[in-house]
Amino acid sequence: MSTQDLSQNRLGFVSLVGAGPGDPDLLTVKGHRVIQQAEVVVYDRLVSEEILALAAKDAEMIYVGKKLDYHCVPQDQINQLLVEKAKQGKNVVRLKGGDSFIFGRGGEELEELADNGIRFEVVPGITAAAGATAYAGIPLTHRDHAQSVQFITGHVQKDGREIEWRALAQSNNTLVFYMGLKQSGYIRDRLLETGLDENMSCAIIENGTRKEQRVFTGPLKDLAAMAKDAVSPSLIVVGNVTSLHDKLKWF
């Protein structure tokens, strides 16, 4: 039997790797290693050039990035691509910005692999909420300001069930909205309707952890106006902890 026939009869392996929020130095040691060992790298838009450069020179690099309102490759095709490459006996890295299990659709991709008998592993990454706020000098929790934190998708009207807004409107809570820039007016209105103070401090962190990072701060009532000055990728943070940005900013 030829080497090619053996490869076709051997199922490959998929590593689901979180690349972190932007700064390439925030990639984990394990993520660094498996990227270097990959024969195929399937990657998203927000993965930095420095991290992509870690792949072997002969690795097959496949871009499947998404932008707001525009998907380069539909999710079901990405799922199938991973299955096909693994069935060719390849060592595949599925590389995503941030962490694959926090609004990264990593679970959906692994379900498809599991349904097809493909072995896989998960290499966590630093999610944007943790990385971007740290680089902005905004602690997600603080004894004087916030005893809880919640991560919420900003795709509040498109994907899945409507958010339980009343559960979010707590003065001692930190809210972090991913992909919420376009929906900033809607987010503001729902939070005000359910009881948050219009002067509650909030922030928008643009390009968090990257050298071009910018941070906008202001009251909740001005959130939509602030969003007009920001570009994607950006995080929206609502809560009293954002008032610490001016004192704790370091990056």
Which of 93, 150, 85 has its CA nearest to residue 125? 93
Catalytic residue, chosen from 44, 85, 90, 96, is: 44
DSSP state of 163: P
Contact between 63 and 72 (Cβ < 8 Å): yes
DSSP state of 228: T
Which of 120, 41, 111, 119 has its CA nearest to residue 76? 111
Which of 134, 205, 140 has its CA nearest to residue 172? 140
Contact between 123 and 69 (Cβ < 8 Å): no
Sign of the C-alpha dihedral computed for residues 178, 216, 126 and 62 taken in this order: positive
Q: Please indicate whether residue 44 is annotated as part of the active site.
A: yes
Distance of alpha carbon 151 from the chain centroid: 11
Question: Residue 81, CB half-sphere, CA atoms under 13 Å: how many?
Answer: 18
> Which three-class secondary structure string do you get for 23-90?
CHHHCCHHHHHHHHHCCEEEECCCCCHHHHCCCCCCCEEEECCEECCEECCCHHHHHHHHHHHHHCCC
DSSP state of 55: S
Q: Using only the alpha carbons of the chain, give its radius of gyration.
A: 20
Catalytic residue, chosen from 5, 25, 66, 67, is: 66
DSSP state of 245: H
What residues are annotated to the active site? 44, 66
